[in-house]
Amino acid sequence: MWWLRTKAYRRFAAREATSLFAAAFSLVLLLFLFGLSRGRQAYEGFLRWLERPGTVVLSAVILAAILYHAGTWFRLTSHILVVRLGRLVVPRKVVISGLVALWLLVSGLVLQLYARF
């Protein structure tokens, strides 16, 4: 298992593994929508599943994985996204900050969607 050999390789393997958790959450969302399509009983049954402590733990694990994905994704994007202003190149840290700012904005908008209509 070459990807266990060095710290960098292990981090790479962890990064790739986050995609499993992304797919897992897609499944959760699908169940959410399926419950919604089946009617009130099914939907509220799903909500009760969401409230279980086991589900919260699972969600925390998924969240940690997806946050690791986001962090590494922004770092990778900063290598690819070259913003040139004449002869100056925007430094990678600034690109990452921009992406994080955008992420905060989007997250805020989604939160508004849920918490206020």
Partner 1 sequence: MAEETTTLRVARYRPERGPEAYVDEFDVPYREDMVVLDALNYIKDDLDGSLTYRWSCRMGVCGSCGMMVNGVPRLTCSTFLREFHPKPVVVEPLENFPVIRDLVVDITDFLEKLREVKPWVIREEEKRVEDGEYLQTPEEIDRYKQFSMCINCMLCYSACPVYAQDPEFLGPAAIALARRYSLDSRDQGRSQRDEVLGVDTGIWDCTFVGECSVVCPKDVDPAAAIQRTKVDTTTRGMLAAVWPFQGRT
Partner 2 sequence: MQERRKETGGISLDDALGASEKWDFEPKKKKPELYLTIPPKELVFWALFSAGGMVTAFLIPIHVAILGIAFAAGWLPDDALSYERVLDFARHPLAKIYLGILVVMPLYHWAHRFRYAVHHQLGVHGWKRLVATFCYGTATLGTALTVWILLRI
Where does this chain bind partner 1 (CB under 8 A)?
A: 2-3, 8-9, 12, 16, 76, 79-80, 82, 84, 86-87, 89
Binding partner of residue 101 among partner 1, partner 2, none, CB under 5 to 8 Å per kind?
A: none
Q: Which of 6, 10, 11, 30 binds partner 2 (CB under 8 A)?
A: 30
- Cα gap 109→117, rounded to integer Å: 11
Find, among 53, 56, 52, 32, the residue nearest to 44 by Cα.
32
Q: Which of 6, 10, 11, 13 binds partner 2 (CB under 8 A)?
A: 13
Nearer to partner 2 (CB atom), residue 17 or residue 94: 17
Q: Please report how close the Cβ of residue 64 comes to partner 2 at its closest, in angstroms.
A: 10
Binding partner of residue 94 among partner 1, partner 2, none, CB under 5 to 8 Å per kind?
A: none
- Cα gap 4→115, rounded to integer Å: 43
Question: With CB under 8 A, what is the number of residues at the site for partner 2?
Answer: 50
DSSP secondary structure letters along 8-76: HHHHHHHHHHHHHHHHHHHHHHHHHHHHHHH-HHHHHHHHHHHHSHHHHHHHHHHHHHHHHHHHHHHHH
Binding status of residue 67 toward partner 2 by CB under 8 A: yes
